[in-house]
Amino acid sequence: MSEPVIAQKEPFEKELKPGTYWWCRCGLSKKQPFCDGSHASTEFEPRKVEISKAGKYWFCGCKHTNKQPFCDGTHNSLS
């Protein structure tokens, strides 16, 4: 698996409190956009995300963003 699975072609909107989160990079997690350990059979590792301010965040759902873990609109150019 050299490319991540596209979980969805739009961002995941999440209301978060300050804390540590693990963003799924492989696209296989059943707890999108966060890691559930599904990457174990892949070369992907989750990305640690430190949230310091409570608020709304938009996490990449296509797993191809250039601003990991946040959406940068790349999903609009995927086929």
Per-residue pLDDT of the chain (79 residues; tens, 9 = 90+): 789 999 999 999 999 999 999 999 999 999 999 999 999 989 999 999 999 999 999 999 999 999 999 999 999 998 7
| Beta-carbon count within 10 A of 14 CB | 15
30 Rama sector, left if φ>0, alpha if ψ -120 to 50, beta otherwise: alpha
- For the chain, the structural domain boundaries read 12-77
SS3 43: coil
**pTM for this one?**
0.92
Residues with Cβ within 8 Å of residue 77, at least 6 apart in sequence: none
